[in-house]
Amino acid sequence: MNHRYEALLVLNAQGKEDTIREIIERLELDFQKEGAQIEQVQKMDKRRFSYVAGPLDSGYYVNFIFSADPESIEKLRTKFKLDTEVYRQTYQRLPEKREKPGKKLAKAK
């Protein structure tokens, strides 16, 4: 059964600012190869880290909202962990979309 997820990826864009668009397109294909249906991609621009814990002081943030099988999340984690262009990743399960009930019409007098 598919669930909705949000994935926040921090990309290592050091020296690769020109190719960010291609990297994001490749990541979208990786999501789709694992069976995810992407609903939305938010490109959140490059930001400096408030706390530098490694060799990078900034990264390019990208937020993916998608539906996927729970087993595919672990495959995506493993795949992106080995990808040198993905610096950090985090996944969160979102509540299922509910259709809003229609508005009630006023009764005619």
Q: Which pLDDT tens digit goes with each residue over 36-60? A: 999 999 999 899 998 887 888 899 9
Is 106 a residue whose pLDDT tops 80?
Answer: no
Distance of CA 106 to the CA centre of its chain: 42
Task: Specify the pTM.
Answer: 0.81
pLDDT at position 31? 96
pLDDT at position 15? 80
More confident residue, 72 or 107: 72
Q: How confident is the model at residue 69 (pLDDT cuts 50, 70, 90)?
A: very high
All domains of the chain in start order, with CATH: 3-93 (3.30.70.60)
Token pair for residue 55?
Answer: 């060799």
Average pLDDT for the chain: 89
The rounded distance, in Å, linking the Cα atoms of 73 and 93 is 10
The rounded distance, in Å, linking the Cα atoms of 22 and 92 is 25
3-state class of 54 per DSSP? coil
